[in-house]
Amino acid sequence: MLRHIRISALIATALAGALAVTGCGGVPSNGVAKVGDATITKTQFNHWLGAAAKQQAQSQPGAATSAAVPDPPNFTKCIAEKQNQPLPSGAQKPPVTQLKAQCKQEYDGLKMQTMQFLISAEWLQQEAKKRGVKVSDAQVRKSFEDQKRQAFPKEADYQKFLQRSGRTEQDLLFQVRLSVLTNELQSKVVQGKANVTQSQISAYYAKNKQRFAQPESRDLLVVLTKTQAKAKQALSQLQAHKAWKDVVKKFSLDTASKAQGGKLPGVTKGTQEKAFDTAIFTAKKGELKGPVKTQFGYYVFQVTKVTPASQQTLAQATDTIRNLLRSQGQQKALNDFVKDFQKTYRDKTECAKGYVTTQCNNGPKPQTSATPQPGQPQGAPPSGGGAPSGAPSGATPTPGGAPSGAPPAGPSGAGP
């Protein structure tokens, strides 16, 4: 009995210790979010938040924007900085309440994009591990060095970038690793989805035969005039064998064809105003025709070339169809993967109070009315911080340009 009590006491002590380091909802007190058993720490968050703030400041050249993170909840330093910014001539100083609202908006945007980056990065790493997708340090280093050489020919420029961006080389290597993992994961997802049979190709051709047809087209010489009288004058000169380019230059109002000496190539049926269209496709090659009245004026024209309609055979269209079906199959596989990926990891993601995004199971549901950009989770704010242009961040779209949910390159969708 005594032994049982002692064991119960030990269990109670362990539970108490666990509760002492855990915030509400199961997120540890030193964390901002938890994905499964993995914790995204406040230290990680603050580091990437600072880098995002520095990049946001760099992305606004000429603006008196600090690289420091706005200081919630009162934003005293942020407000003071904005108050010290020079105002346009005649402008009144904004009230403190307005400046505080601006500081809060800036902070919320930086916080949101940083959370989305860190959560998405954790999602990617866990999914890659689950699927057995691995990348070596050598792969990451090579990709990083290739991008670094392209972005920073001089080592001094690279070192300046590190100072300005608030990032370390390890940060950049981490982002490159995410990029390489994304590419490897994409390959894994679409593996075997590029196979297309001849029967599939034949069926697509039969159903979409008109897509492989070219309608008859006609090349013209045209003169467009405002009045019928002017059109008749132009026609008369053309009948007298005056050069088209001279007649067009003198009479035509159609600037596009006029610049080409009156040439209007590749006209297909149904693309011109009805009266003009009918005249074009009933005219014989070489005949001078007109005037034809349209809403734009009066046309005089001559058909100079007739290209008959044509139809690609199945054999001629096979390569095009195969590539199309292959692409469609891969994209469907990616779309299906991302949909399941988002749901699976959102269900196991919990965020601490004040750090909630649409990626959190305790956050607002993602909007589905619009398709976000690759690497940018649904509901993400516009990009603001990240590696500047030229930074070897390893930014890469999500697999195949699929809808978002697969991880990004950095807070703000940094990209080289």
Q: Which residue has the higher pLDDT, 370 or 321?
A: 321
Which pLDDT does position 192 carry in this prediction? 84
Is 90 exceeded by the pLDDT of residue 293?
yes
Residue 48, token pair as written in the block: 């990437």
- pLDDT classification of 165: cutoffs 50, 70, 90: confident
How many C-beta atoms lie closer than 10 Å to residue 386's C-beta? 27
Residue 98 lies in a domain: yes
Q: What is the mean pLDDT of residues 296-310?
A: 96
- pLDDT classification of 25: cutoffs 50, 70, 90: low
Domain enclosing residue 303, as ranges: 216-308
Which pLDDT does position 163 carry in this prediction? 87
Q: What is the mean pLDDT of residues 88-105?
A: 90
Residue 88 lies in a domain: yes
Of 290, 308, 326, the last residue of a domain is: 308
Is 70 exceeded by the pLDDT of residue 416?
no
Residue 254 lies in a domain: yes
* Among the listed residues 9, 20, 27, the one whose alpha carbon sits nearest the alpha carbon of residue 355: 27
The residue type of 158 is Y
Which pLDDT does position 387 carry in this prediction? 33
| Residues 61-79 pLDDT 10s | 444 456 788 989 999 999 9
Q: Which residue has the higher pLDDT, 156 or 392?
A: 156
- pLDDT classification of 365: cutoffs 50, 70, 90: confident
Which pLDDT does position 368 carry in this prediction? 61
Q: Which helix (H) or strand (E) holds 100?
A: helix 96-130
Which pLDDT does position 375 carry in this prediction? 37
| Residues 366-414 pLDDT 10s | 876 433 333 333 332 223 333 323 333 333 333 333 333 333 444 443 3
Is 90 exceeded by the pLDDT of residue 95?
yes
Q: Which of 156-170, 232-246, 352-366, 398-412 has the lowest mean pLDDT?
A: 398-412
Percent of residues, the chain, with pLDDT higher than 90: 70
Q: Which residue has the higher pLDDT, 371 or 155?
A: 155
Angle, CA of 49, 414 and 178, to the nearest 5°: 90
How many C-beta atoms lie closer than 10 Å to residue 355's C-beta? 21
DSSP H helices, 300-377, are: 314-347
* Residues 170 and 229 reside in one and the same domain: no
| Residues 189-198 pLDDT 10s | 998 888 899 9
Which pLDDT does position 58 carry in this prediction? 77
* Residues 181 and 267 reside in one and the same domain: no
Q: Which helix (H) or strand (E) holds 4?
A: helix 2-20
* Residues 39 and 120 reside in one and the same domain: yes
Is 70 exceeded by the pLDDT of residue 141?
yes
Residue 246 lies in a domain: yes
Q: Quote the CA–CA distance of 169 and 159 in Å, as a whole number.
A: 10
Which pLDDT does position 66 carry in this prediction? 61
Any bridge partners for residue 263, and if so which?
221
* Residues 175 and 252 reside in one and the same domain: no
The mean pLDDT of the chain is: 83
* Residues 144 and 284 reside in one and the same domain: no
* Residues 50 and 178 reside in one and the same domain: yes
Q: Which helix (H) or strand (E) holds 76?
A: helix 76-83
Number of domains in the chain: 2
Q: Which of 24-33, 184-193, 210-219 has the lowest mean pLDDT?
A: 24-33
* Residues 151 and 267 reside in one and the same domain: no
Q: Quote the CA–CA distance of 119 and 113 in Å, as a whole number.
A: 10
* Residues 67 and 163 reside in one and the same domain: yes
* Residues 108 and 65 reside in one and the same domain: yes
Q: Are 351 and 32 in contact (CB under 8 A)?
A: yes
- What is the radius of gyration, based on Cα positions, of the chain? 33
Which DSSP string corresponds to 119-181? HHHHHHHHHHHHTT----HHHHHHHHHHHHHHH-SSHHHHHHHHHHHT--HHHHHHHHHHHHH
Percent of residues, the chain, with pLDDT higher than 70: 81
* Residues 44 and 109 reside in one and the same domain: yes
* Residues 266 and 341 reside in one and the same domain: no
User: With 0-12 CB in 10 A as exposed, 13-18 as middle and 19+ as buried, what is 319?
Assistant: exposed
Q: What is the mean pLDDT of residues 160-168?
A: 89
Residue 96 lies in a domain: yes
Residue 78 lies in a domain: yes
CATH code (residue 236): 3.10.50.40
- pLDDT classification of 46: cutoffs 50, 70, 90: very high
Is 90 exceeded by the pLDDT of residue 133?
yes
* Residues 297 and 361 reside in one and the same domain: no
Residue 102 lies in a domain: yes
Residue 174 lies in a domain: yes
